[in-house]
Amino acid sequence: MSKDQIVAAICEQATHMLPAELTAESAHDFLQHIRTLAREEDHARLVAQIYAEAAVSPALAALVQRQLEDLRQAVAALLPHRKSADAERVAEVFVALCHAYTQQLAVRGDPDPAPYTAALMAIIECDEGAAGHRGFRKTPACPTPASRCGVAATGAQRIQGSMASQMPLHTSLT
């Protein structure tokens, strides 16, 4: 198997790992699966190396760009209740945030997925407000399933103190 084939196989894994629907529990489980791969197979460091190589290799960059586009399309398809352009914007940020979590796993070791789940849910649950203004709901769902959440509270309370709690409640996505 060539290096490009190995990289292609690794890149394709993310699309196949996506949940069937985007809920707080499935997003948490998705990030937990990424965390497990990082622990058991050093997957996050391998992905970091692939991205570093893609920065200087046009052929590898094209492969990674195709994989990212496939992943964004798969995420957008999980948002059938959204207008196409809105689903694409949400998918863009969803993929970027998951990639950021993977990079944190590669560099920091074993960060908790809960703040990332909260941020993903804030993005997914974005409402379209008055006059087409898109903003975050004031009380997003708890990012961690109740069975795993030490705080039986709303998402806004759960993510207090995290970077997500510092986001304005009506941040424009356009």
Coil, helix or strand for 134?
A: strand
The CATH number assigned to the domain holding 57 equals: 1.10.357
Distance of alpha carbon 73 from the chain centroid: 13
Please write the tens of the pLDDT for every residue from 6-45.
777 777 777 788 888 888 999 999 999 999 999 988 989 9
Cα(145)–Cα(117) distance, integer angstroms = 10
- Whether 32 is covered by a domain: the verdict is yes
- 174 in a domain, yes or no? no
25 is written with which tokens? 């529990």
For residue 26, tell me if it sits in a domain: yes
CB-count exposure of residue 31 (10 Å: 0-12, 13-18, 19+):
buried
Q: How many domains does the chain have?
A: 1
pLDDT digits (tens, 9 = 90+) for 42-98: 989 999 999 999 999 999 999 999 999 999 999 999 998 889 899 999 999 999 999
Nearest to 110 by CA among 35, 17, 14, 165: 35
Domain interval for residue 114: 3-166
pTM of the model: 0.70
Query: Does some domain include residue 171?
Result: no
Residue 173 lies in a domain: no
Please tell me which residue, 94 or 133, carries the higher pLDDT value: 94
